[in-house]
Structure 1
């Protein structure tokens, strides 16, 4: 299979280089500062934390993209989802404005691991479909984001099949003068497309041994306006011509006075963070980390477009407040016994989410509420000797899920029982793991060998108390899974500015509560029912990459991969008590369930060009291609869901002492309907009959610092006011968006 990877890589890079070369000739300039996200062009100096502890990028074989705090401020995105999307290197799907589901190498949702401050965010109910959990992290308080591509199970355990998004929040700062110090930051931002208003403030009080960091962010998003420049063939694509409102206590379908306004997409969100740092000596740090994120109800916009019998189906379909609370204690010690560095982290997370839906002219409001309590523990240690580095670790995550449901008559207020999304009894899912990661530097650092192993145990227990709704053939589900995963890779640096990497890695994901026992009606009007006979998923990925400096101005990078996906879990037709169709929500619907469809494969490549001839003017461009297919015995290959079309970003940037400006284009290729997975999560009902059209946007932003403590930012996104949707999204992207903001630093 490796020749296929090499051929695919050669094909995409050769075409891409022709495209870039033509663009560069037209511009007459080649630049690069964005590519390293404002850290440095020197790989020797780029420091990453993807290997648990600080490590220079040149010693990490796995592909990693870095977004620094400075770059986060320059991008000035309203949410964490938009921050990743605007990088051009991560594909992000949206079902509603209050959402954003990243895709890495054709894997999404529960197959991507989200980590904040070293703590797993993924829990027992992270679904395989698109989700919104990313936006519960306040991007305004991030020190950095590191995106790992490919399996990351050795260090981080289950779920990291396609990669991981590692988010590190800012640390409290001690005083450097010996006297108590104080500093603060304030951001006020406005975006016209959603009438968005964001206010953020944070302050730091630092002493010689202790420091306190506090932050608050509040965002208010109105109904989003989509673009007005439609594809010629689809002049009505995405238009919101009608919506449902209540008039005189009766649901009424009314005409939208402006069909570019996506009615019922607005929401508000607030985020708080507190950190206390205590450093009694140079060797020891104690950190208390408190985070809270909450929101108003978030309309599920894609479902509000659903039609049944020629009319809008849902009068209401919304998520209740998305709440995430975190309390964590971290201990860092240098030079303790065998280890040169030791880190202990103990944390508790509390997550609440709910779904609420009511059909048109029905008084029945169905409410399904989930509460998850998660305990995390990690212990990581690092040892240096000669040319070797050894990282050892133990970790555990304990999940408890409480699922409830009721139906409320909005006319009388009477509540009755309803089938819950998950079993209404006790649901637990616990992860236990131990790992070792080794790094060996040879030939004065020209050769680097990475290798590692992890042993992971996962147990799941789920109990159904009330089985009267569906009469499932079982009342409980129990699973115990054990997995051994690993990685091995090498990086070769024959000379300065040149690097070749190759690696093999395995990934593992144990089916969670959402995979095994959820009951859910999909957007395709399919009833999803429990299936207790699901095995863990495994991936085996081969990576090949290179980077080459051409002279002093131009650098090219490319990375190709091939993934063998085994025991892939996907929706497939199923029977419930011998029936392939059942009555649900007033209609006869087909029965589906998650099943191991045996195997699948994915391959793809990412390439980028960076360059600079001056310190002020810069250029960067990147392009990503992914392909995936399911293989089922006795059947022809079918498209694997979550596979994005070709996508990328090209930018030109100017940076001076007080001024910065950037012009950039974001673009996606066609996703033809033949490449959709009709029973998966590709949402072809929200696309055109031919699929999702290709699109591009032109964008401009600039900043000016008249004095050292004030920065004024302004920009225009989607200058051409194009109307488009990102693949698999049921929500149209913003139209022309004028963004202005003020940052003050004291």
Structure 2
């Protein structure tokens, strides 16, 4: 009798464990969400969740189940066949119906054709082939995100004429921007490891309805890899090992990840280490970019050393380590729990653009470097699929803690005082997002709370004896930034081929800072900002035929003042110092966009878009008075006083064009081109070029692929900015640019020829090689402080087990 009971329980366990199955893409092995399953009579049905899971418990063993998805070929299996196959169903792509599922616009899956905004997607396969050295390079590969670099350890994105704190970054749906993201170029994005990213989505245009402050020009969402469960008895183990070398920077990168999966638990560990040497520039281009000399300290004395090879940008190398640990628990098809832990850090890395500045013909700085940039993050997510008839069909709870650390160290040439500041930001956030499906659409809503605590300290260190004394901090120590918000959005199918999407969000921002360090005589002791912002968007996606698709979108966005705007003290440019300003209010943007897609039998595809953005009450750096004084002494130098002020408005407009030609299954041509222009207007009605508007730029790829081989011959190109096209702040930073025939700074046009190849030696082993800048051009992307790599061979090997 006991044996029969045991046997019955065992059989019951086997049967119930096979009631939840997973649907995967046959080529990518990735889960497919939104797959409809139903029987012949359509009396029984289900839909796969975000990770491709669905229950088949209400189907009979001999009953045939249909699997239908808009971008995959329809398939039918009996329940028994699925269970005998291990509970996994593979679907192959249907090229004639292919449509991406996008997460970034509502935080839940939506078909791309129903979204009125333009969204770019980069998959892990794209990352594997293009071999980006950092997450900034990953974004650059899209052809629609411009990247500025002040040093090798950097990369500041620019989207549609907006950059830095007017763009928002998220990792697994968690806000990555902090209260000290500045208007100048930021390099925080390099803390995100491309090897750990499953997919990247870039929303072009405003995203404040879902994401709040800072999402003015666009949103960059990085979704990291998730642990995989085992669908066989016992425990499954899999992983990847990779190695990469690049000649221009002598980069040496090693990576490994491994996954342990059971029926309900899964664990994923990822580690990447990179070491970069000094970057070599190209040999053909302006001599203004050459590194002819550099500063060194020999026997305690600062000296200018003649560079043996001016093509090598001395003092650009650094190293970095990225780690990630994921834990996932899925007790049933209705609950999915995910814990993500991240830690990344760099070594000290030089601020190259500050090291090439000169004063009276001599190098100005003996040292200028960032201390280790650290990012520690823990986020917990609980996804729940509700029973029918509730107020939501799916909900997502996200709770996170992040700690950001950065520091700056600079010393003038010939001086013995090293000025140092260190900042630590603790960021807490909690969000609860919901989705409710109905017959003709979806309704999303949610709430969010974000709290940032900023700790900042400054000191002066005498390098001759190592003694340090307190000095003014970069930010008011102990300051805080809070955001509370509620939002809702609706995606509604007005007709079979016409979809509307709109939403509203109310955000309340509280900023508190105290200025009592005694180092500066400020006319105020604290800054308190308590303000609200209402933003909204509405758009239409119309697909009247297989050939033609239209989209139109109108949206508003805002950026609330943060601690960097309110309380920063720093040297913005030679001879100028930025001081705090407590009298700030949010800046607002209004954007209109129209786009069209043309698809001629999946042979020729054209994507066009044009947009215009008006920004009012723009937070910009302007001359300022402090206690009636226009100049103060800062770090031993008499400096012009400036402050962030609501002192401008701006207009940004542009045009984007994409082309795809599929000559045959093996040969494809793609091209992307972007034009951005606009102006900034001050209180006097004067117009100035936008600092953040990039020159015309784009890329073109000719791709050939077979089962084992893939080749990519591509060109990247960039337009020219003459002297009159540069913003006043850039005209003043002439050391960043080449000189024209009049001796004025300008950004020359450039292009590079490149070739990439990928070969699958076996199913497990893959080899990649990319030869960049074949003609060895010497060029510097607009507003960058470092010259780009010359001829650069990147080779890598990737092994899966």
Equivalent residue runs for 1:157-168 within 5 Å: 157-168=212-223
- Tell me, what secondary structure is at the counterpart of 1:461? strand
C-alpha distance in 1, partners of 2:359/2:295?
14
Shift of 1:579: 1.6
2:359 is matched with 308
C-alpha distance in 2, partners of 1:479/1:606?
38
Alignment deviations for residues 127-171 of structure 1 (CA, whole Å, 9 cap, x no partner): 111010110000111110000011100000000000110000011
1:46 is matched with 100
2:479 corresponds, among 411, 420, 427, to: 427
Once structures 1 and 2 are overlaid, which stretch shifts more, 537-546 or 244-253? 244-253
2:200 is matched with 145
The 8 Å contact of residues 682 and 728 in structure 1, kept in 2 or not, is answered as: no
- Tell me, what secondary structure is at the counterpart of 1:110? helix
Shift of 1:40: 7.8
In the alignment, is residue 115 of structure 1 matched against residue 170 of structure 2?
yes
Shift of 1:552: 4.0
C-alpha distance in 2, partners of 1:307/1:414?
28
In the alignment, is residue 296 of structure 1 matched against residue 347 of structure 2?
yes
The 8 Å contact of residues 673 and 684 in structure 1, kept in 2 or not, is answered as: no
2:383 is matched with 332
Equivalent residue runs for 1:187-586 within 5 Å: 187-230=242-285, 234=286, 236-335=287-386, 337-424=390-477, 426-444=478-496, 446-467=497-518, 469-586=519-636
C-alpha distance in 2, partners of 1:417/1:342?
49
Alignment deviations for residues 573-598 of structure 1 (CA, whole Å, 9 cap, x no partner): 11122122222233322111111124
1:24 is matched with none
C-alpha distance in 2, partners of 1:603/1:42?
34
In the alignment, is residue 156 of structure 1 matched against residue 211 of structure 2?
yes
The 8 Å contact of residues 722 and 746 in structure 2, kept in 1 or not, is answered as: yes
2:235 corresponds, among 170, 180, 194, to: 180
The 8 Å contact of residues 734 and 745 in structure 2, kept in 1 or not, is answered as: no
- Tell me, what secondary structure is at the counterpart of 1:81? helix
In the alignment, is residue 73 of structure 1 matched against residue 123 of structure 2?
no
Higher relative contact order (CA 8 A, sep 6+): 1
Shift of 1:550: 2.6
Shift of 1:663: 0.6
The 8 Å contact of residues 254 and 272 in structure 2, kept in 1 or not, is answered as: yes
- Tell me, what secondary structure is at the counterpart of 2:289? coil
The 8 Å contact of residues 676 and 682 in structure 1, kept in 2 or not, is answered as: no
C-alpha distance in 2, partners of 1:574/1:42?
60
C-alpha distance in 2, partners of 1:399/1:341?
29
C-alpha distance in 1, partners of 2:617/2:421?
30
Q: TM-score, normalised by structure 1?
A: 0.92
C-alpha distance in 2, partners of 1:303/1:681?
16
The 8 Å contact of residues 620 and 648 in structure 2, kept in 1 or not, is answered as: no
1:695 to 1:39, Cα distance in 2 relative to 1, 3 A: farther
Shift of 1:643: 0.6
Shift of 1:312: 0.4
- Tell me, what secondary structure is at the counterpart of 1:522? strand
The 8 Å contact of residues 130 and 681 in structure 1, kept in 2 or not, is answered as: no
- Tell me, what secondary structure is at the counterpart of 1:494? coil
1:511 to 1:40, Cα distance in 2 relative to 1, 3 A: farther
User: Structure 2: 5+ residue runs without aligned partners?
Assistant: 1-91, 739-743
The 8 Å contact of residues 524 and 685 in structure 1, kept in 2 or not, is answered as: no
RMSD in angstroms over aligned alpha carbons?
Answer: 1.4
Equivalent residue runs for 1:631-646 within 5 Å: 631-646=681-696
User: Structure 1: 5+ residue runs without aligned partners?
Assistant: 1-37
C-alpha distance in 2, partners of 1:333/1:677?
50
Shift of 1:87: 2.4
1:39 to 1:136, Cα distance in 2 relative to 1, 3 A: farther
Shift of 1:690: 4.1
